[in-house]
Amino acid sequence: MPLQEPVLTKRIPTPPFGDFSQRKLISYEDFVATGGYVGLKKAIDMQPSDIIDTMKASELRGRGGAGFPAGVKWSFLPPQDGKPRYLAVNSDESEPGTFKDRMLLDFDPHILLEGIAICMRACQLDTTYIYIRGEYHHQAKVLNAAIDEAYANNIFGPNSIMGKINDREPRCFVHRGAGAYICGEETALLNSLEGKRGWPRIKPPFPAVAGAFGRPTIINNVETLAMCGPIIDRGVDWFKTMGVARPEGVPPHVPASYGPKLIGVSGHVNRPGVYEENLGITVREMIEKYCGGMRNGKKFKSAVPGGIAMGVLGTDQIDAPLDFDIGRNFGCLGLGTAGVIVMDEDTDMVAMARNVVRFFSHESCGQCTPCREGSNWVYKTLKRIEEGNGTTADLDLLLEVSGSQGAMPGTTICGLADGTNWAIKTFLNKFWDDFESRVKPSKIAGYSLPVLV
């Protein structure tokens, strides 16, 4: 069933409920006048543990890429010990094809601030750092102004309606990054926040136990937190009327795909943009219903389901539902950020793969050999093929390198290497002919590996 009413875009006019041209920045007064901060007021009347239980029952899954259930993450915190505890908001949003958090920050910053306050209350976190990507100059300004409004209206600060947390006044700061993709990985984000080089940390310990400055820290994406106010205000049953329920026979501890989702569509469509729909809408429906169809009437060739780290869908997978099971069901890494990049029939898949791998190779932080060396090898190999100098041995090499990166889970510190690997694997597996037609036969006898599935 399609979304019946806008939730995250309630105040951000978006087709089919409104028109892009009517969008404007929502002030504190506008937000309150349209039901904002009601969820926070309800949360203040609840015990912190009840708020966490409600979030757990909602099965809200993280919207930053990994899809981990927010309430479960919140329950991992150790008991309070009177010392500081932090919330780090992941507003790095550097994944190519992903621009959904930016829309919330551009127009409705208080929906994020309400979610932040609810999380602080639930998890008893006294200080929030919103880590925002370096290039988001305008959004950082908007956020700072909204935070000032929130202080002036006692959401945060010495007279906060939440009272003191850990015997401290609840505080909220914006921390600007310097434009590195890797700083979106949660532990690299923490290092960057601490003023160190933005390198991912080995886990465990997980941030909930030892995060920012060695203290318990919750890290959540902007959209995840923005969903908290509506859930606390309107309840778990309401939230679960949207999205995809758990299929029969799947045990209850496996989270489903409930709720609405911001879906950013770019590429070869007539009307790219960020739209809100229930999880489970198909790629075809997004293109036809929201994006005005394929640009210039061309045929669909492929789409990235959610940021390029997730790999690509095949031409016959246009009816793939955008939910958290898309990875398992359609041979890609996952839903990721639901930043869909649509490619038409004229797309050069070799050039596209080369461009994707160039990005990952450039953004690799260099700590792990398979990621640092492997991504650069793959980039050079793809470039060779694109320029017409590749051989079938290069295709074998690509399969071998991508297979080794993925075949050794745990050999790299963070998921960037998996993103590179899934991108290459899916490009090759789903568009083999495009690659094979660009190479010459290899002179290396007997060098051939099976195609990975």
Ligand X SMILES: Cc1cc2nc3c(=O)[nH]c(=O)nc-3n(C[C@H](O)[C@H](O)[C@H](O)COP(=O)(O)O)c2cc1C
Q: Measured from the CB of residue 94, what is the shortest distance to ligand X in angstroms?
A: 5
> By CB under 6 A, which span of 52-60, 116-124, 172-180, 407-415 interacts with ligand SF4?
407-415
The one among 221, 364, 412, 426 contacting ligand X by CB under 6 A: 221
Nearest-approach distance from CB 428 to ligand SF4, in angstroms: 21
417 binds, among ligand X, ligand SF4, none (CB under 5 to 8 A by kind): ligand SF4
410 Rama sector, left if φ>0, alpha if ψ -120 to 50, beta otherwise: left
- Contacts with ligand SF4 in 191-210 (CB under 6 A)? 200
Judged by CB, which is closer to ligand SF4: 139, or 361? 361
204 cis-preceded (ω within 30 degrees of 0): yes
- Give the angle 74-77-83 at the CA atoms, nearest 5°: 125
- Which span (56-64, 74-82, 236-244, 374-382) binds ligand X, by CB under 6 A? 56-64
Question: Among candidates 125, 103, 108, 107, which has minimal Cα distance to 116?
Answer: 125
- The answer to whether 364 contacts ligand SF4 (rule: CB under 6 A) is yes
Residues between 183 and 202 with contacts to ligand X, criterion CB under 6 A? 184-186
Q: Tell me which of 103, 132, 417, 423 binds ligand SF4, using CB under 6 A.
A: 417
For residue 317, the partner it binds in ligand SF4, ligand X, none, with Cβ less than 5 to 8 A by kind, is none
Q: Does 93 bind ligand X (CB under 6 A)?
A: yes
Number of residues that this document lists for the chain: 453
Considering beta carbons, is residue 344 or 418 the nearer one to ligand SF4?
Answer: 418
406 binds, among ligand SF4, ligand X, none (CB under 5 to 8 A by kind): none
Angle between helices 137-152 and 109-123 (to 10 degrees): 60
Element (H, E) at 426: helix 416-430
Quick one: which segment of 90-98, 124-132, 340-348, 360-368 binds ligand SF4 (CB under 6 A)?
360-368
CB of 121 to ligand X, least distance (A): 17
Would you say 291 or 338 has its CB closer to ligand X? 338
CB-based contacts of 23: which residues, under 8 Å, 6+ apart? 12, 13, 106, 107
Considering the rule CB under 6 A, would residue 367 count as an interface residue with ligand SF4? yes
Q: What 8-state DSSP symbol labels residue 4?
A: S
Give the distance, in angstroms, between the CA of residue 60 and the centroid of all CA atoms in the same chain. 14
Site string for ligand SF4, 312-341 (x = CB under 6 A): ------------------------------
**Per the structure block, which two tokens stand in for 231?**
């859930």
The 10 Å CB-count burial string (b at 16+, else e) for 322-334 is: bbbbbbeebbbbb
C-alpha 445: how far from chain center? 44
- Of 116, 115, 142, the C-alpha closest to 129 is 116
Give the residue with the Cβ less far from ligand SF4, 37 or 181.
181
- Return d(Cα 453, Cα 142) in angstroms, integer: 46
Query: Binder to ligand X among 36, 39, 65, 390 (CB under 6 A)?
Result: 65
What is the closest distance, in whole angstroms, from the C-beta atom of residue 380 to ligand SF4 in the complex?
Answer: 17
User: Which does residue 368 bind out of ligand SF4, ligand X, none, counting CB within 5 to 8 angstroms by kind?
Assistant: ligand SF4
- Shortest separation between residue 434's beta carbon and ligand X, angstroms: 27
Between 265 and 371, whose beta carbon lies closer to ligand X?
Answer: 371
Min CB(422)–ligand SF4 separation in Å: 13
Stretch that binds ligand X, among 16-24, 146-154, 164-172, 179-187 (CB under 6 A): 179-187
Q: Between residues 400 and 418, which has the closer beta carbon with respect to ligand SF4?
A: 418
| Chain residues 379-418 in contact with ligand X, contact rule CB under 6 A | 414-416
User: Is there binding between residue 76 and ligand X (CB under 6 A)?
Assistant: no
DSSP β-ladder status, 243-244 and 127-132: unpaired
Closest CA to 166 of 219, 117, 124, 216: 124
Tell me how many residues contact ligand X (CB under 6 A).
22
Nearest to 103 by CA among 88, 93, 113, 117: 93
7 Rama class: left (phi>0) / alpha (psi -120 to 50) / beta: alpha
Instruction: Examine residue 413 and tell whether it contacts ligand SF4 (CB under 6 A).
Output: yes
Note whether 166 and 80 are within 8 A (CB): yes
Task: Give one DSSP letter per residue of 202-223, joined into a string.
Answer: PSSSPTTTS-GGGS-EEEEEHH
Residue type, 86: Y
DSSP letters spanning 363-422: H--S-SHHHHHHHHHHHHHHHHHHTT--BHHHHHHHHHHHHHHHHSTTSSSSTHHHHHHH
In the complex with ligand X, the residue whose CB is nearer, 153 or 266, is 266
Site for ligand X, rule CB under 6 A? 62-66, 68, 90, 92-95, 182, 184-186, 219-221, 224, 414-416
Site for ligand SF4, rule CB under 6 A? 182, 200, 364-368, 371-372, 412-414, 416-417
